[in-house]
Amino acid sequence: MIVVGAGIAGLCAARELATAGRSVIIVDKSRGVGGRMATRRVGRAICDHGAQFFTIRGRAFGAIASAAHAAGRAEVWCDGFNRAASVGDLPVAAADGHSRWRGTSGMTDIPKWLAAETPGTTVRTGVRAVAAARRGDRVVLSVEQDGVVESLSSAALVVTAPVPQALDLFAAGGLVAEGDPQALAALGTVAYDPCFALMLELRSASLVPSPGAIQFAGGPVSWLADNFQKGVSPVPALTVHASGEWSRARFDSEPDAVADELVGLVRPWLDGDPATAIVSRSLQRWKFALPTTILPTPLVAVSAAPPVVCCGDAFAGPKVEGAASSGMAAARWLLRALAAG
Ligand SMILES: Cc1cc2nc3c(=O)[nH]c(=O)nc-3n(C[C@H](O)[C@H](O)[C@H](O)COP(=O)(O)OP(=O)(O)OC[C@H]3O[C@@H](n4cnc5c(N)ncnc54)[C@H](O)[C@@H]3O)c2cc1C
């Protein structure tokens, strides 16, 4: 079996397939695993710059989170964040008693743990899938690594890349012409908001109130988190997420100008003049940050024989838990399709 994407959806799909006795190859174009569960070092700081926390509502993902917790890789952060209407407004504490979880040393802890703790699975990073094609009862995935193209053949394929990237893969291999037209039309409706994530290493503690994060309902900034209070950074450090609308309007702007503007917006939460308060900074531009359309089913099958299935956070439930649940559902569907065929 081949899985495209070593984010939480791909890793949970692989875990399900491996538990059923299948051997799995996961390919991911990035250098590491985790996808949008991403953690980065900025100077001496550690910053989560994609997903910031996760919640647990269902049993299947709950079992994975509990196992990660038992292995020391996931912790409860808090039971709710401060909320404000916009970045210029005063936040109010808004705990609701429902646990918000984090990776113990950053959000990548959980995907890293899953990748290491799933026997029967080989994870190949730095490998970009470029085309998916049907050849009789097999799927052939063309992948590229360091300029070398290779063909991987499999009885089935799970694609967890953001949907526009999945469609590119199918178009390049002829699956858009040969696949289920209804499924492809549904996939064509999925869109995402972009997001700029600014990470700041600070000289002294930020002024963000406990437990170290503010959610903004509107305006240019959607989220502000203190990675030191959160427990992942050894030194004071902030993560700032710009809203989808704000990020889209500046998507192709010069990164330094975007970072300067974001620093200006969060200045009230810095201890002093930004010129001295900020030790180092890094800007990440997420093109496909959060889906703005969620399809009603946990997976979409582009082909039944051989099974080719799309899943991830745009399917039935968004965010980390939604993506994980979608990955598991896709793997179960694929196993049933293979058993029936
Ligand atoms: C800024 C931001 C903030 C967020 N905040 C939260 C939050 O606080 N809580 C929450 O629950 N969720 C949050 N999310 C959403 C959450 O991160 C995602 O819903 C979830 O991680 C999606 O997982 P996934 O496996 O579906 O996709 P991804 O994590 O995107 O994984 C897909 C993988 O596919 C790989 N890939 C893509 N194309 C190819 C290709 N051609 N070949 C090989 N590999 C490929 C990518 O490199 C990636 O690793 C946030 C996301 C962002 C960006």
Report if residue 63 sits inside a domain: no
Atom nearest to 320 CA in ligand 1: 11
Say what the pLDDT of residue 214 is.
98
The residue out of 271, 291, 311 marking a domain boundary is 291
> What would the mean pLDDT of 247-273 be, rounded to a whole number?
98
For residues 22 and 115, state if they share a domain: yes
Count of structural domains, the chain: 2
Q: How many A from CA of 268 to the centre of ligand 1?
A: 30
**Is 53 near ligand 1, meaning CB less than 6 Å away?**
yes
**Tokens encoding 71:** 């292995």
Q: Residue of the nearest CA to atom 12 in ligand 1?
A: 319
Say what the pLDDT of residue 317 is.
86
Rg (CA), the chain: 20
Report if residue 43 sits inside a domain: no
For residues 219 and 247, state if they share a domain: yes
One-letter identity of residue 327? G
Report if residue 285 sits inside a domain: yes
Note the pLDDT tens digit of each residue in 203-235: 999 999 999 999 999 999 999 999 999 999 999
- The domain spanning residue 17 has which CATH number? 3.50.50.60
Q: How many A from CA of 240 to the centre of ligand 1?
A: 17
Is-cis flag, bond preceding 164, omega within 30? no
Note the pLDDT tens digit of each residue in 30-89: 999 999 999 999 999 999 999 999 999 999 999 999 999 999 999 999 999 999 999 999
Say what the pLDDT of residue 145 is.
98
For residues 113 and 250, state if they share a domain: no
d(CA 226, CA 213): 6
**Is 285 near ligand 1, meaning CB less than 6 Å away?**
no
Q: How many A from CA of 325 to the centre of ligand 1?
A: 14
Give residue 315's domain range.
Answer: 2-37+109-191+293-340
Confidence of residue 179 (pLDDT cuts 50, 70, 90): confident
Say what the pLDDT of residue 245 is.
98
**Is 313 near ligand 1, meaning CB less than 6 Å away?**
yes
> What would the mean pLDDT of 164-174 be, rounded to a whole number?
96
Q: How many A from CA of 338 to the centre of ligand 1?
A: 27
- The whole-model pTM stands at 0.97
For 134, residues 6+ apart whose C-beta sits below 8 A from its C-beta are 140, 173, 174, 175, 178, 303, 306, 308
**Is 332 near ligand 1, meaning CB less than 6 Å away?**
no
Note the pLDDT tens digit of each residue in 113-122: 999 998 889 9
The residue out of 274, 291, 308 marking a domain boundary is 291
For 156, residues 6+ apart whose C-beta sits below 8 A from its C-beta are 1, 2, 139, 306, 307, 308, 309, 334, 337, 338
- The domain spanning residue 252 has which CATH number? 3.90.660.10
User: Which of 71-75, 102-106, 335-339 comes out lowest in average pLDDT?
Assistant: 335-339
Say what the pLDDT of residue 341 is.
76
